[in-house]
A and B are shown apart, each in its own frame.
Chain A
Amino acid sequence: MTGQHVQKLLKATAASNHLKLSESGKAWQDGHDALDALATTLTRTAKEVERGFADEVAPEDQGTAARGRKAFETLRDDVVVPRRDQMNAAAVALRKAAAKLGSAESARADMPDAPGDAPVRPSSYGAEDDAEAFRAQRIYSNQVTSHNAAVSAYADADEKARLKLQDLDEAYAEASAVLAKIHGEPVYPEDLPPPGDPGPGGLPVGPSGGHRPTPVIQGPPPVSTGHPHPVPIVDPGPGPGPGPGPGPEHHSPGPVGGTLGNPGSGSHPGGGGGLGINPIIGGGIAAGLFGGPGLANAVRGALGGRGGLGSTNGTIGSTTRTGGAGTLGRSGGAAAPGTQAGRSGGRAGGTGGARSGAGGRGAAGAPGTAGGRGRGAGGGRGAAAAGAGGRGRKGRDEEGRERDLFDDGSDWIDDEGAGPDVLG
């Protein structure tokens, strides 16, 4: 669930004040400094006392002088030093905790607003002429680019927030252990809260964390296949293909054709409206994301090529940020030429997105999108994010269930009917 860490960080730092921790750390440090000065003085005193007692005393009596020194050292070691070390440990731990908290508070100011709903594709119906449709499409393309950039930024911020929270919890845990030793109360592992990082797409953080921004991948108007599982076209090239290969494509119902991973602001979360991505178009779109020449060209052709609609900034695959490494995965997977579109999108949104960064974690995507649910080759990680990220934290359980679906072949059974129809 993209944005949950942002929301969690905002909530965690809403009333925090790292300066209070710093000030307390200084108080502990002051105590340490005072005791340390005393310890130093006692050490010096002990040596002087020994020297004085040893003056003009026969060598055999040096042991007596040493014991006189020991008296001061005992005071130092039994009374001063233990407290000094405790106060120093607390000061160090609190300073570190304060630094991490301050860092989280600073990051709070950098957190972008959650992207709004994806732009709505203009309808070609009612357009008086092609020019008007062209303009509408261009506006839409710009909106999509802007939206995807916002989604990408939000995904990056979410990852940043996750790391900040993780650092903070680690520093807090360390400080807690130090302070627990001081007050003598043991810290039992079972008493500790779970680690702060529930993992990408982890635990929900409440109502405020539910927004799922999704990038939009432009494409031709939706074409319903009448099949609940739209199947992007399968590239017979490298990678697992249909059949007994390593991974058949599993695609959840897609919301609106041409928008991979777009839940339509929740109005089509499951894509159950019967609309799906045209396999050819969808595949072409995905291929475009990966730089795949084949199907991408087909799409490009449909859109009028480079000079056509959306070519300026909305062409899929040409967008540097949203269509490329940004939203779609910083791992660079998007650059893999010839990567099968369907496979790519699927993998990224699925497991691939898990830790690979913003795209993977699903900034994008929404459940039920074509790219998002697909299971594909790793090469698609980057692009996938665009379509898929949204899967976010559906949880490993669900992922496992999906894998089970692959294993038992039910997907192929489901898709059998659709494939030939589309491809044929």
Chain B
Amino acid sequence: MLPEMFADFAAAAVKASPHGLTIVEDAIDLAVKSIDDELVNLDHQTFGVDGFIPVSAFGTADRSPELALHHTRAHAVIETTLIGVKKDLERFRTACVEARDLIKGADVQAGDDSRVLAARVLAEGTTGNSTDDYYNQAVNEEADAVPTEENPHGEEVPARVGTPVGGKITDPEEDQ
């Protein structure tokens, strides 16, 4: 979906006026800044620690085990998914910056090629959907997660993505 959308973006960039491209540039700057700000708040490790609930905290009501189980799995899935969200946003941000620079240069060069290139960079920068990839991976790998008393992510122990217990969830690409 995203590549197609950004192909349209490329088409729009080619036809934009210099003034219009300035508007686009400003808008992209705004998006980049917002992404930078919110990426801090979307830190999956922070969510992994702050969102954890010890199993005992749920109490021993009839449905306590049920909620503890579902929260443990949902928390782990979202924690992993946030990695994908961040990757998508970071990729989009990078593409925006590159596109902005190219668009900015297009004013000087007055050439459509730069605009096309800018749009292409932007489109390529958003190819794929890491969020869905991470989400689907996490759903499969967290299916056996069980509630625990200790936060498995509290220790700086590297573990594969989605490891239900035994260590902090890390991004395998970062490990590499």
Which residues of A are in contact with B by a Cβ distance under 8 Å? 11-18, 20-21, 23-24, 26-28, 30-31, 33-35, 37-38, 41-42, 44-45, 47-49, 51-57, 61, 64-65, 67-68, 70-72, 74-75, 78-80, 83, 86-87, 90, 94, 97, 101, 104, 165, 168-169, 172-173, 175-176, 179-180, 182-185, 187, 192-196
Give the contacting residue for A172; candidates B17, B63, B89, B129; CB below 8 A: B63
In the complex, which of the residues A87, A173, A194 contacts B78, with contact meaning CB atoms closer than 8 Å?
Answer: A87
- The docked-state distance in angstroms from the alpha carbon of A176 to that of B15 is 51
Q: Is B12 an interface residue (CB 8 A)?
A: yes
List A contacts of B110 (CB < 8 A).
none
Bound Cα distance from A160 to B150, whole angstroms: 33
- With a cutoff of 8 Å between Cβ atoms, the chain A residues found around residue B58 in the complex are 16, 21, 101, 172
Taking the nearest CB of chain A, how far is it from the CB of B147, in angstroms? 12
A53 and chain B: residue at smallest CB distance = B12
User: Smallest Cβ distance from B52 to chain A, in angstroms?
Assistant: 7
Task: Report whether A33 and B41 are in contact in the complex, using a CB–CB cutoff of 8 Å.
Answer: yes
Question: Nearest Cβ in chain B — how far from A113, in angstroms?
Answer: 21
Are A56 and B56 also in contact (CB < 8 A) when A24-B71, A45-B27, A184-B77 are? no
Contact A44 B67 (CB under 8 A): no
Residues of chain B with a CB closer than 8 A to A42's CB: 31, 34
B154 nearest CB across to chain A (Å): 14
User: Are the C-beta atoms of A31 and B15 separated by less than 8 Å?
Assistant: no
Asked whether B30 lies within 8 Å of A53 as measured between CB atoms, the reply is no
List residues of chain B with CB within 8 A of the CB of A17: 54, 56-57
Min CB–CB distance A174 → chain B (angstroms)? 9
Task: Name the distance in Å between B84's Cβ and chain A's nearest Cβ.
Answer: 8
Q: Are B31 and A94 in contact (CB under 8 A)?
A: no
Given contacts A28-B78, A83-B85, A195-B62, 8 further A-B contacts (CB under 8 A): A16-B56, A21-B53, A31-B42, A38-B35, A68-B9, A176-B69, A183-B139, A185-B73
* B92 cross-chain contacts in A, Cβ below 8 A: 75
The answer to whether residues A64 and B74 also contact, given A20-B57, A173-B63 and a CB cut-off of 8 A, is no
**Does B12 lie within 8 Å of A79, measured CB to CB?**
no
A183 touches B142 (CB 8 A): yes
Cross-chain contact B50 with A23 (CB below 8 angstroms): yes
Q: Is there an interface contact between A57 and B53, defined as CB atoms closer than 8 Å?
A: no
Across chains A and B, which 6 residue pairs bring their CB atoms closest together, nearest first? A55-B20, A52-B23, A16-B59, A48-B27, A67-B8, A68-B12
Please report the C-alpha to C-alpha distance between residue A64 and residue B119 in the assembled complex, in whole angstroms. Answer: 13
Q: Which of B20, B42, B56 contacts A35 (CB 8 A)?
A: B42
| Pairs across A and B, CB under 8 Å, 19 listed | A13-B59, A21-B53, A30-B41, A33-B41, A41-B34, A52-B21, A53-B12, A55-B23, A61-B15, A65-B12, A72-B31, A74-B1, A75-B5, A75-B126, A83-B131, A165-B61, A182-B77, A183-B142, A193-B65
- For A182, give the chain B residue with the smallest CB separation: B74
- Bin chain B's interface residue count: 35 or more
Q: CA of A172 to CA of B67 in the docked complex: distance in angstroms? A: 6
Instruction: From the candidates A12, A78, A79, A83, name the one contacting B60 in the complex (CB within 8 A).
Output: A12
Whether A83 contacts B57 by the Cβ 8 Å rule is no
Q: Determine how close the nearest CB of chain B comes to the CB of A14; give it in whole angstroms.
A: 7
A176-B66 CB under 8 A given contacts A24-B50, A27-B50, A75-B92: yes
A180 to chain B, nearest CB (A): 5
- Is B2 interfacial (CB 8 A cutoff)? yes
Q: Are A57 and B17 also in contact (CB < 8 A) when A168-B61, A172-B61 are?
A: yes
Q: Does B13 contact A (CB under 8 A)?
A: yes
Known: A24-B71, A78-B2, A79-B89. A37 touches B37 (CB 8 A): yes
**Bound state CA distance, A313 and B77, in angstroms?**
64
- Nearest-CB distance from A304 to chain B (Å)? 51
Question: How close is A307's CB to chain B, nearest CB, in angstroms?
Answer: 52
Evaluate contact between A79 and B59: CB separation under 8 angstroms: no
Question: Do B12 and A67 touch (CB < 8 A)?
Answer: yes
Q: Cβ of B139: which chain A residues have Cβ within 8 Å of it?
A: 183-185
Q: When the two chains form their complex, are residues B51 and A24 in contact, meaning their CB atoms are under 8 A apart? A: yes
Contact B23 A51 (CB under 8 A): yes
A177 to B131, CA, bound (A): 22
Scoring A68, A83, A101 by chain B CB atoms within 10 A of each residue's CB, the highest score goes to A68
Given contacts A31-B41, A44-B30, A78 and B77 within 8 Å (CB-CB) = no
> Which residues on the A side are within 8 Å of B13 (C-beta)?
53, 68
CB-CB nearest in chain B for A36: B38
User: How far, in angstroms, from A45 to B32 measured CA to CA in the complex?
Assistant: 10
**For residue B26, which residues in chain A have a CB less than 8 angstroms away from its CB?**
48, 52
Structural contact, A55 and B16, CB atoms closer than 8 A: yes
**Given the contacts A64-B12, A79-B129, A180 and B74 also touching, CB distance less than 8 Å:** yes
